[in-house]
Amino acid sequence: MTTQAGPSTSVSTPSRPTTSSPRTSTPRTSSQAPPTGDAANVTCEEYAGLDEDAQTAVIEEILKDQSSVLGPGDAEIAKTLADAVCTFLPDSTVSEILLGGTTPP
Protein backbone atom coordinates (compact mmCIF):
# COMPACT_ATOMS: atom_id res chain seq x y z
CA MET A 1 0.00 0.00 0.00
CA THR A 2 1.46 3.38 -0.99
CA THR A 3 0.44 6.85 0.01
CA GLN A 4 0.39 9.57 -2.59
CA ALA A 5 -0.14 13.26 -1.95
CA GLY A 6 -3.30 14.44 -3.61
CA PRO A 7 -5.07 17.77 -3.91
CA SER A 8 -5.87 19.53 -0.68
CA THR A 9 -9.39 19.00 0.58
CA SER A 10 -9.44 21.82 3.09
CA VAL A 11 -11.93 24.59 2.48
CA SER A 12 -11.20 28.20 3.36
CA THR A 13 -14.07 30.28 4.56
CA PRO A 14 -13.78 34.01 5.03
CA SER A 15 -13.94 35.02 8.64
CA ARG A 16 -16.16 37.81 9.87
CA PRO A 17 -14.64 40.44 12.12
CA THR A 18 -15.96 40.36 15.63
CA THR A 19 -16.78 43.37 17.73
CA SER A 20 -17.48 43.80 21.38
CA SER A 21 -20.01 46.55 20.80
CA PRO A 22 -23.64 45.69 21.37
CA ARG A 23 -25.80 45.58 18.26
CA THR A 24 -28.45 48.22 17.88
CA SER A 25 -31.42 48.40 15.58
CA THR A 26 -30.03 51.56 13.99
CA PRO A 27 -27.25 50.98 11.44
CA ARG A 28 -24.04 52.87 12.06
CA THR A 29 -23.82 54.93 8.94
CA SER A 30 -22.25 58.20 10.01
CA SER A 31 -18.74 58.70 11.23
CA GLN A 32 -19.11 62.43 11.82
CA ALA A 33 -19.47 63.75 15.34
CA PRO A 34 -21.70 66.78 15.69
CA PRO A 35 -19.94 70.14 15.66
CA THR A 36 -18.64 71.39 19.00
CA GLY A 37 -21.48 72.78 21.08
CA ASP A 38 -24.11 70.52 19.53
CA ALA A 39 -23.18 67.44 21.59
CA ALA A 40 -25.64 68.42 24.33
CA ASN A 41 -28.50 68.12 21.83
CA VAL A 42 -27.61 64.72 20.35
CA THR A 43 -30.48 62.27 20.86
CA CYS A 44 -29.84 58.66 21.74
CA GLU A 45 -31.16 57.67 18.32
CA GLU A 46 -28.62 59.94 16.62
CA TYR A 47 -25.90 58.71 18.98
CA ALA A 48 -26.62 55.08 18.03
CA GLY A 49 -26.06 55.98 14.36
CA LEU A 50 -22.53 57.27 14.99
CA ASP A 51 -19.40 55.15 14.85
CA GLU A 52 -17.54 54.45 18.09
CA ASP A 53 -15.03 57.30 17.69
CA ALA A 54 -17.80 59.82 17.07
CA GLN A 55 -19.76 58.49 20.05
CA THR A 56 -16.68 58.95 22.25
CA ALA A 57 -16.27 62.50 20.93
CA VAL A 58 -19.90 63.28 21.86
CA ILE A 59 -19.38 61.87 25.36
CA GLU A 60 -16.15 63.81 25.88
CA GLU A 61 -17.76 67.05 24.69
CA ILE A 62 -20.71 66.58 27.06
CA LEU A 63 -18.46 65.86 30.03
CA LYS A 64 -15.93 68.60 29.24
CA ASP A 65 -17.62 71.61 30.80
CA GLN A 66 -20.34 70.06 32.90
CA SER A 67 -20.53 69.76 36.64
CA SER A 68 -21.66 66.23 37.34
CA VAL A 69 -20.49 63.12 39.12
CA LEU A 70 -18.86 62.07 35.84
CA GLY A 71 -15.94 64.13 34.64
CA PRO A 72 -13.77 64.15 31.51
CA GLY A 73 -11.68 61.28 32.91
CA ASP A 74 -14.79 59.10 33.13
CA ALA A 75 -15.52 59.04 29.39
CA GLU A 76 -15.27 55.25 29.15
CA ILE A 77 -17.74 54.75 32.00
CA ALA A 78 -20.04 57.41 30.56
CA LYS A 79 -19.94 55.76 27.13
CA THR A 80 -20.88 52.39 28.61
CA LEU A 81 -23.78 54.04 30.43
CA ALA A 82 -24.95 55.90 27.32
CA ASP A 83 -24.68 52.77 25.16
CA ALA A 84 -26.89 50.82 27.57
CA VAL A 85 -29.50 53.43 28.48
CA CYS A 86 -29.88 54.90 24.98
CA THR A 87 -31.09 51.51 23.79
CA PHE A 88 -34.22 52.00 25.89
CA LEU A 89 -34.68 55.78 25.60
CA PRO A 90 -34.01 56.72 21.95
CA ASP A 91 -35.80 60.08 22.24
CA SER A 92 -33.71 61.27 25.21
CA THR A 93 -30.55 63.25 24.67
CA VAL A 94 -27.23 61.72 25.65
CA SER A 95 -26.62 64.69 27.96
CA GLU A 96 -29.88 63.93 29.82
CA ILE A 97 -28.69 60.36 30.31
CA LEU A 98 -25.26 61.39 31.57
CA LEU A 99 -26.02 64.58 33.47
CA GLY A 100 -29.58 63.98 34.58
CA GLY A 101 -32.63 65.81 33.45
CA THR A 102 -36.07 65.09 32.21
CA THR A 103 -36.71 62.10 30.01
CA PRO A 104 -39.71 61.57 27.78
CA PRO A 105 -42.68 59.75 29.38
pTM for this model (two decimals): 0.60
Residue 2 lies in a domain: no
Residue 44: closest CA among 60, 59, 65: 59
CA distance 54 to 62: 12
How many domains in the chain? 1
Residue 27 lies in a domain: no
Domain of 52 in residue numbering reads as 39-99
What pLDDT score does 70 carry? 76
Residue 94 lies in a domain: yes
Residue 14 lies in a domain: no
Residue 10 lies in a domain: no
Contact 82, 97 (CB under 8 A): yes
Contact 66, 101 (CB under 8 A): no
What pLDDT score does 22 carry? 47
CA torsion sign for 36, 37, 39, 43 is negative
Phi, psi of 104 (to 5 degrees): -65, 150
Residue 67 lies in a domain: yes
Q: Is pLDDT larger for residue 70 or for residue 45? A: 45
